[in-house]
Amino acid sequence: MIIEIRQAGFVNKGAELMLRAAVQKIRERYPDAKITMAPAWGGSENTFEKMRELDLYPKAWLWRKGIDFGEIANFLPNKTLLKRYGLVFNNEIDVVIDAAGFSYSDQWGINSSKELSSSSKRWRKNGTKLIMLPQALGPFEDKEIQKYVKIWAKNADLIFPRESDSYQYLTNIVGQHNKIKQYSDFTNLVEGTLPEGYDASDKRIALVPNYRMIDMTNKEEGDAYLPFMIRCAKYLVSQNKQPFVLVHEGNNDRMLAEKISEATGGIPIVIENDCLHIKGILGSCDATIGSRFHGLVSALSQGVPSLATGWSHKYLRLFEDYAFTDGLVSVLDSDEHLHQKIDLLIRPESSFVLKRQLMKRSDELKLLSEEMWQLVFTEIDQVNSK
């Protein structure tokens, strides 16, 4: 059996965490399955090394200007040479698992839904199953995007909206179906690891910036974001709580980290390329303040109290999942209100109770993630039974 994991990868740490989570569960259930993915543009420069580490086969795929050039490879008269290099072709794939995270929506434009609608029609014709793992979907106000959403939703075998907004956005377009079931983010099952020699003694509270808070919000919020993160850092320094800045993604986040550190007397900056190490570092903290969605999932799922400011509905729903909506803050909050929020994380009497509550909820959400995977396996088992 050949299973493709798509729209995850090494473009960012959240995508890589989803990829590793999916690979982990698939290998547990189907140790003999061949897993493939299309190397994505952008992100990690050592994509093939990482694919080799995870024993992933490259898929022949290139989507440009509405054409899947990988499909053309199916019609080559002699594919022996390409197969010698481990390439997998579209018509060989039994199951496609989509782990996009957040791609199908008005916010990200028409291309993702257009490509998925085209691909899903071909998969349906070939008898290939399409399973969409928990992810944020919508909103879908654009009529053209709605047209493509209806197509891929019809062709999918299972769709897991990640929260109530996503479920509503989707079912408002396609109606309610048994194959559409709401489940939370599934990366909570992945265990983090600490980098060799990592010293957490002077790095107790992680500040995790996200440049998306500047380019995906309105001008007022975008302009206020960096000052907001600096205000958080300065208050933590004044309370002797040993804050540091953790770079979760790329150069833009690194630029923000450098400015936060410079404005606060040079607090440490940690740059880590391994997504499992990032999760391990977050798990070693007393608390986090950030805007990277999967950074927040990694912290909350390990019982680490966190404050968040975000740019989409997925942040609110994540904190509802963990029964801690008090953890949401606005970049426009006053210093007094912001300090009160931070105190929830750093005062022993409140942080102790909060950690226990988060761990209890984390255990419940992990059970739900396992339940979701059982639904996935039941669907995939139908391929094995043919």
DSSP for 109-134, written as a single string: -SHHHHHHHHHHHHHHHHT-EEEEEE
| pLDDT reading at 358 higher than 70 | yes
- The verdict on 210 and 336 lying in the same domain is yes
Q: How far apart are CA 99 and CA 116, in angstroms?
A: 12
| pLDDT, greater one: 214 or 38 | 214
The type of residue at 30 is: Y
> CA 259, 262, 264, 270 torsion: positive or negative?
positive
CA within 13 Å, CB half, 64: 7
| pLDDT reading at 65 higher than 80 | no
Query: Quick one: pLDDT at residue 87?
Result: 85
pLDDT band at residue 342 using 50, 70 and 90 as cut-offs: very high
- The verdict on 176 and 265 lying in the same domain is no
| pLDDT, greater one: 53 or 151 | 151
- The verdict on 326 and 380 lying in the same domain is no
| Residue span of the structural domain in which 221 resides | 205-363
Query: Quick one: pLDDT at residue 90?
Result: 86
> Within 127-209, where are the H helices?
143-155, 164-174
Query: Quick one: pLDDT at residue 306?
Result: 98
Q: Which residue has the tokens 């400011």?
A: 309
- pTM higher than 0.85: yes
**CA distances, 226 to each of 209, 252, 255 (Å):** 8, 12, 10
| pLDDT reading at 244 higher than 60 | yes
Query: Quick one: pLDDT at residue 205?
Result: 98
| pLDDT reading at 46 higher than 90 | no
- The verdict on 348 and 309 lying in the same domain is yes
| pLDDT reading at 284 higher than 80 | yes
Query: Quick one: pLDDT at residue 84?
Result: 59
> CA 279, 283, 288, 294 torsion: positive or negative?
positive
Q: Which residue has the tokens 């959240």?
A: 14
- The verdict on 216 and 253 lying in the same domain is yes
Question: Measured in whole angstroms, how far is the alpha carbon of residue 312 from the centre of its chain?
Answer: 13
- The verdict on 24 and 105 lying in the same domain is yes
Q: Is residue 30 in a domain?
A: yes
**Paired tokens of 7:** 């729209």
> Within 156-204, where are the H helices?
164-174
- The verdict on 238 and 163 lying in the same domain is no
Average pLDDT, the chain: 92
What is the mean predicted confidence (pLDDT) over 93-105?
95
Query: Quick one: pLDDT at residue 10?
Result: 84
**Using an 8 Å Cβ cutoff, are 59 and 8 in contact?**
no
Query: Quick one: pLDDT at residue 41?
Result: 55
Out of 21-35, 87-101, 232-246, least confident range: 87-101
| pLDDT reading at 45 higher than 80 | no
pLDDT band at residue 250 using 50, 70 and 90 as cut-offs: confident
Q: Is residue 316 in a domain?
A: yes
Q: Is residue 196 in a domain?
A: no
- The verdict on 133 and 259 lying in the same domain is no
- The verdict on 23 and 145 lying in the same domain is yes
Q: For residue 358, which of 281, 306, 315 has the smallest C-alpha distance?
A: 306
In the chain, where do the E strands start and end? Answer: 2-6, 34-37, 57-58, 63-64, 67-68, 95-98, 129-135, 158-161, 205-208, 243-247, 269-271, 287-290, 306-308
Count of structural domains within the chain: 2
- The verdict on 26 and 175 lying in the same domain is yes
- The verdict on 18 and 141 lying in the same domain is yes
Q: How far apart are CA 379 and CA 97, in angstroms?
A: 11
Residue 350: other Cβ atoms inside 10 A? 14
- The verdict on 305 and 319 lying in the same domain is yes
Out of 1-15, 31-45, 331-345, least confident range: 31-45
Residues in Cβ contact with 49 at an 8 Å cutoff, skipping those fewer than 6 apart:
none
| pLDDT, greater one: 68 or 159 | 159
Radius of gyration over every alpha carbon of the chain, rounded to an integer in angstroms: 21
| pLDDT reading at 335 higher than 80 | yes
What is the mean predicted confidence (pLDDT) over 21-45?
86
| pLDDT reading at 258 higher than 90 | yes
**pLDDT one-digit tens code per residue, 109-143:** 999 999 999 999 999 999 999 999 999 999 999 99
What is the mean predicted confidence (pLDDT) over 349-367?
97
Q: Which CATH number is 110's domain given? A: 3.40.50.2000
% helix / strand / coil in the chain, to the nearest 5? 50, 15, 35
| pLDDT reading at 100 higher than 80 | yes
